[in-house]
Copies of this chain bind each other. A is one copy, B any other.
């Protein structure tokens, strides 16, 4: 909503609004608000991310949680887990923020002006991996199709909490470069991605990257710590001065943390009825503020809700 002030926001967002309120004659029933829909969701519609797939990235600004996607990029995810277990990222930095595109983190010495003798070793991790840009469609993976169409792919939808595209003609499916997706940077050679340099999409979905890079996961929480950083002024948004970089305090797997220190979050299942209802309410949103429902929705404009897990009884 683009409301002039908060009061109007409070009115429009109010979960207490009767769902069937009738306003002017051209305004039928309100679509339910996200808050209303989430309040009615069932416990089993939420999942706790596997701690083996949950990265906790600690920045000076705050904590970023990234869910890995081993069913889509298994070799890259395994390599990233190895790097993380061996504390590869701790003390490295965000080296690049290109407006309306990506925030990227890496070893700062892995740069034109870097001192290659100071490059942090990859330890047990592999330096090169095959390009896992797409994978074979597998009926064992869930696929919740969006009927709205897509500019870039024959079919799009969600699988295991990730936005995906697929093409039955080629038999392939792939994760899409929507906001918050975390990809694997590489050199020109497609074999040069290892996961030692990652990027998060911070702008309009750069879907032209789909099928050209491996996507390893998605930011579940803390995107604002990656998206609100000053843009780099060098080529492609690289920071030109070392002091502009943001140091990564640590990246850890949730599974490596003591149970009481693991993030306590739940993610709405993308196969759930509540997720479908949220999409429909956004697709055809109609309330006192929205008078002309879009009728359609773009894959990358759909948010996947995350909430704090309720304390165990």
A99 partner residues in chain B, CB cutoff 8 A: 223-224, 227-228
Interface residues of A in 190-214 (CB under 8 A from B): 190, 192, 196-197, 199, 203-213
Instruction: Let me know if B231 and A229 touch, CB within 8 A.
Output: no
In-complex Cβ contact of A301 among B13, B102, B199, B207 (8 A): B207
Copies of this subunit: 2
A213 partner residues in chain B, CB cutoff 8 A: 2
Q: Which of A83-91, A177-185, A265-273 touches B? A: A177-185
Least CB separation from A183: chain B residue: B2
Instruction: Let me know if B289 and A188 touch, CB within 8 A.
Output: yes
Q: Is A160 interfacial (CB 8 A cutoff)?
A: no
Instruction: Let me know if B294 and A2 touch, CB within 8 A.
Output: no
Instruction: Let me know if A294 and B5 touch, CB within 8 A.
Output: no
Chain A 254-290 per-residue mask, 1 if CB under 8 angstroms from chain B, else 0? 0000000000000000000000000000110100111
* Cα–Cα, bound, A191→B11 (Å): 17
Tell me, rounded to whole Å, the shortest Cβ–Cβ distance linking A304 to chain B.
Answer: 12
Chain A 7-20 per-residue mask, 1 if CB under 8 angstroms from chain B, else 0? 11111110000000
Q: Is A48 interfacial (CB 8 A cutoff)?
A: no
When A8-B188, A151-B151 are in contact, do A1 and B207 touch as well, CB less than 8 Å?
A: no
In-complex Cβ contact of A106 among B4, B149, B150, B301 (8 A): B4
When A9-B235, A150-B151 are in contact, do A190 and B291 touch as well, CB less than 8 Å?
A: yes
Q: Is A43 interfacial (CB 8 A cutoff)?
A: no
Tell me, rounded to whole Å, the shortest Cβ–Cβ distance linking A256 to chain B.
Answer: 26
Tell me, rounded to whole Å, the shortest Cβ–Cβ distance linking A198 to chain B.
Answer: 9
Least CB separation from A299: chain B residue: B151
In-complex Cβ contact of A186 among B2, B110, B224 (8 A): B2
When A104-B2, A111-B5, A208-B282 are in contact, do A179 and B151 touch as well, CB less than 8 Å?
A: no
Least CB separation from A211: chain B residue: B292
In-complex Cβ contact of A151 among B8, B104, B114, B149 (8 A): B149
Instruction: Let me know if A152 and B236 touch, CB within 8 A.
Output: no
* Cα–Cα, bound, A133→B150 (Å): 25
Q: Is A36 interfacial (CB 8 A cutoff)?
A: no
* Cα–Cα, bound, A97→B186 (Å): 32
| Given A2-B104, A210-B292; 9 other pairs, CB 8 A cutoff | A4-B185, A4-B186, A4-B187, A9-B236, A10-B235, A152-B296, A188-B289, A208-B294, A208-B297
Instruction: Let me know if B297 and A151 touch, CB within 8 A.
Output: yes
Of A210, A290, A301, most B-chain CB atoms within 10 Å: A301
Q: Is A139 interfacial (CB 8 A cutoff)?
A: no
A210 partner residues in chain B, CB cutoff 8 A: 292, 294
